[in-house]
Structure 1
Amino acid sequence: MSLISPAARDALAEWLERTKALNGASENTLTAYRRDVMDFLSFITLHKGDTQGLGALARITVSDMRAWMAATRGPDLGARSLARKLSAVKSFYRWLAEREGFEPTAVLATRSPKFQKKLPRPLAEDAARDMLARVELQASAPWVAARDVAVVTLLYGLGLRISEALSLTGRDAPLADRLIIRGKGGKERVVPVLPAAVHAVDEYVALCPFDKTENAPLFRGVRGGALNPRAIQKVMEAARMQLGLPATATPHALRHSFATHLLNSGGDLRAIQELLGHASLSTTQAYTGVDTARLLQVYDATHPRAATPRKAG
């Protein structure tokens, strides 16, 4: 017999469908949401000693939430993971409370555990250039070397996520002067393309032994299938060990580096936010390591209600 009532299971399925439709959540995100909320509902059932219908779920108390958090937190689950689970449960309850007409305060008022956020660590400009040069030396086949250089150039030169770079298809080559990238949540953004990226992709296409097909992945694995992100991660692992760079020199670190180096060269923070596809300026601030004073300068220069000078102190 299932621990979770049919009504609760149906409600969870409906919430996931709405989340996918309204927020454009990825399948990986939806799978994580489903797992986190199912774990919560299973715990509550065992904690209460009976299958919990929607009426019982509406009567969750602060004590119940504390018991769940205490039972969930352990040596195998840190504060960061528990905070993620709590966020999923809150999102589900916020929607369920609106649908069923009950007050979800006990759930929504539960405080997330504190944890130290891991700030991204961009590479220094010379290290990023060395990485681009070293990546080319990792493969014995010239076309594989050209492929790896092209992908890494897209990460550092355009600020793409590795998933975005590997989602390009044959119709995207040769690269135009602008790319329309579909990022997280299905949101589109326009990214200018540097000549170096155009050249790198052209070299790869010229050497690639597999025919370029409009609907097929642009970047291929050695057997002709879609290139696995792990292949680029391994190439960069080898390159960073040879260069003496830290373990934080990952494909995603190149995206951080793109943003930070652009900002250091005088780039506008809001423009960089748009290039990265961030929903909030605070996320871009974390990516670039920009300090609060610089963030306030952008606010004062761009916010329509910031016409009067900011007072000191």
Structure 2
Amino acid sequence: MPDAKPLSNLPAPRPPWNKGRLTGQKLPLKPKDVWTIRVRLQILGSKRDLALFNLAIDSKLRGCDLVTLKAQDVCLGGRVRDRTTIVQRKTGRPVQFEITEQTRAALREWLSVLQPMDTSYLFTSRLHESAHLSTRQYARIVHRWVDSAGLDGMAYGTHSMRRTKAAQIYRKTGNLRAIQLLLGHTKLESTVRYLGIEVEDALAISEQVEL
């Protein structure tokens, strides 16, 4: 049997793939960050990105559902809807969301440029092999938005868009059932994990209620 190599001659272990990286849930944007990104997109005159950003915040959709939205999902009779419902790809369950006035205005501006048919995708891709933005393209766009606001790109991602409005609603109301419906979760436990609710959050809500 050959002699075992001394420990000093063994190759150094590889560093963990996530060393120095932020892992886990992506942070939601703060209201000031939302307005920073929105104003920058308005100044740049980026109609597609402004419509995409505003709708991502309002809809609270997963990226895979957001990029496959069609004109008919947000429009009815040439008018942008106040509310709409889509079926989620992940769960197969319908979820409803509101479209605020500023988002409707951004969509009208983008649709005037796009001039789609009802069956057309809302956010088209510039790549010939894809009819709509891919989730990878969407992720790159989100990172551009985050960078433009001076935020840490490793701490934010597409799920930041999904979590932003939900996190604000939770902070203001503490209504987990409402957020479960808005996010389209099948179980309340999923909503609790998704929002990262801790015991301190629960106690803070409890302390606001006097009996």
Q: TM-score, normalised by structure 1?
A: 0.50
What corresponds to 1:181 in structure 2?
A: 86
Which structure's CA Rg is the greater one? 1
Change over 3 Å in CA distance of 1:191–1:238 after alignment to 2: closer
Aligned partners of 2:59 and 2:98 also within 8 Å: yes
Change over 3 Å in CA distance of 1:188–1:297 after alignment to 2: farther
How far apart are the structure 1 equivalents of 2:174 and 2:81?
22
Task: Find the partner of 1:222 among 120, 126, 147.
Answer: 126
What corresponds to 1:286 in structure 2?
A: 193
Q: Which amino acid aligns with 1:179?
A: T
How far does residue 261 in structure 1 lie from its aligned partner after superposition? 1.0
Change over 3 Å in CA distance of 1:273–1:297 after alignment to 2: farther
Q: How does 1:107-126 map to 2 (within 5 A)?
A: 118-126=24-32
How far apart are the structure 1 equivalents of 2:145 and 2:67?
20
How far apart are the structure 1 equivalents of 2:40 and 2:159?
17
SS at match of 1:257: helix
How far apart are the structure 2 equivalents of 1:290 and 1:134?
31
SS at match of 2:91: helix
How far does residue 260 in structure 1 lie from its aligned partner after superposition? 0.6
Q: How does 1:158-177 map to 2 (within 5 A)?
A: 158-174=59-75, 175-177=80-82
Higher relative contact order (CA 8 A, sep 6+): 2
What corresponds to 1:263 in structure 2?
A: 170
Q: How does 1:66-77 map to 2 (within 5 A)?
A: none
How far does residue 197 in structure 1 lie from its aligned partner after superposition? 1.9
Q: Does 1:155 align with 2:56?
A: yes
What corresponds to 1:133 in structure 2?
A: 39
How far apart are the structure 1 equivalents of 2:106 and 2:63?
16
Deviations 1:118-147 (A, max 9, x none): 233212221122123334566xxx5xx211
Task: Please give the root-mean-square deviation of Cα atoms over the aligned residues, in Å.
Answer: 3.1
Q: Does 1:245 align with 2:146?
A: no
- Where does structure 1 differ by over 6 angstroms across 4 or more consecutive aligned residues? none
How far apart are the structure 2 equivalents of 1:137 and 1:230?
25
SS at match of 2:160: helix
What corresponds to 1:212 in structure 2?
A: 116
Deviations 1:58-84 (A, max 9, x none): xxxxxxxxxxxxxxxxx8x99xxxxxx
Change over 3 Å in CA distance of 1:200–1:189 after alignment to 2: same
What corresponds to 1:231 in structure 2?
A: 137
How far does residue 233 in structure 1 lie from its aligned partner after superposition? 2.4
Change over 3 Å in CA distance of 1:236–1:293 after alignment to 2: closer
How far apart are the structure 2 equivalents of 1:239 and 1:169?
23
Deviations 1:186-211 (A, max 9, x none): 11122222222222211110122xx4
